Structures are given as structure tokens and as C-alpha cells.
Amino acid sequence: MAAIITVKVQREPFDVSAETAALTRGSTAVGAVVTFTGICRGDENGEPIAALTLEHYPGMAEAEIEGHVAEAAQRWPLIGATVIHRFGRLVPGEDIMMVATASSHRAAAFAAADFLMDYLKTRAPFWKQVEKASGDTGREKIWVEAKADDDAAAARWAKPGRSDQAAE
């Protein structure tokens, strides 16, 4: 049976418990659910921040995430997967995004969630800008730089002979 896939890109907050419940409702085949929630921290590189603004590429963001979820469902025996990513201005403590994967056993659920997070960080068209909490000249805004660690994390999932999937 094909996995039940839900992908949402939205400004509004989401409810992890409700999304997780929706993922497993009506199925007695699910034996494992892994959820990951990315949360806006109160600091960036040790400096306090007032807010985080996420810019995204409408249309491509959804398509890119859907493509990766479909690939995860091909690589692991998933019963369902949900990815929600927010955009707009978020303050520390707010949820940024979530991934939930459901499978019969935990190994597939963990692996698929890990794979999805690594790919979303390097391939989903979102950009974070931090608004510093302090500063003499008003609130300085700085674009977050991509981390080499994230590229390395995504590269470990690339299949031999499919260099198009590797992070550049």
C-alpha cells in the first residue's frame, strides 16, 4: 500500500500531536512513529536573537519536499510521512518545522526521518534571517550561513551513480 504523504508549507503554527495522531489514525499496521520538531532558538552563534524570518520559494518548496518524501517512501517501508515547514517571522520558542514518519518497525521510521531532515536542510528552498536582539543601530538582520556539516550529512544518503542527489 502506498504511504500516506502530507506536505504543508505554511505561515501558521502546527500541532505536532494532532499531526502525529492523524498519521496513525485508522491504521493498526503502524508500530513506530518518529517525530522531529525544529524550534527557533533564542540565540545564534552565542548571540541573543529577537526573531527568525524564513523566506521560501513558493511552489518549489512544496515540490522539493514532496519529491524527497516520495523518495523516502521508496527507500523505506513507510506507512505514512508528514512534513510541515513554516515561513515568515518566528520568535524564539516557536516551532519552525516538523517531520513525522510512520512504519511497522522503528528502524525504517528513524532512518526515513533522518534522511528527510538531512535533505530538507540542504535542498528545500528556505532561507533563515536572524534579527539580533541587541545592537546600537536598531535590530541588525543577518542571513544564516549554510553549514558544511549539513552538506556532509546529506551526502551520506546519496546512492552510488546518482550524483545529482549529492549536496554540492
Partner 1 sequence: MAIKLRYFAWVRERVGKPDEEIELPAGIATIGELMTWLAGRGEEYAYAFENPKIIRAAIDRSHVKPQAAIAGAREIAFFPPMTGG
15: number of Cβ within 10 Å: 12
C-alpha cell at 1: 500500500
Show the binding pattern over residues 36-65: x = contacts partner 1 (CB under 8 A), - = does not: --x---------------xxxx-xx--xx-
Nearer to partner 1, 23 or 56 (CB): 56
Q: What is the DSSP string of 18-60?
A: HHHHHHHTT-SS--EEEEEEEE--SEETTEEEEEEEEEE-TTH
Show the binding pattern over residues 99-138: x = contacts partner 1 (CB under 8 A), - = does not: ------------------x--xxxxxxxxxx---------
* 146 forms part of the interface with partner 1 (CB under 8 A): yes
Q: What is the DSSP string of 92-119?
A: TTSEEEEEEEEESSHHHHHHHHHHHHHH
Nearer to partner 1, 54 or 79 (CB): 54
Nearer to partner 1, 96 or 108 (CB): 96
CB of 27 to partner 1, least distance (A): 27
Nearer to partner 1, 23 or 97 (CB): 97
* 144 forms part of the interface with partner 1 (CB under 8 A): yes
- Which contacts of 12-20 are long-range, i.e. CB under 8 A and separated by 24 or more positions? 12/86, 13/86, 13/94, 13/95, 14/84, 14/86, 14/95, 14/98, 16/95, 16/98, 16/100, 19/82, 19/84, 19/98, 19/100, 20/82, 20/100
Nearer to partner 1, 29 or 144 (CB): 144
Q: Applying CB under 8 A, which of residues 145, 149, 160, 161 lies at the interface with partner 1?
A: 145
Residues lying near partner 1 in the complex (CB under 8 A) are found at: 38, 54-57, 59-60, 63-64, 85, 96-97, 117, 120-129, 143-146, 150, 168
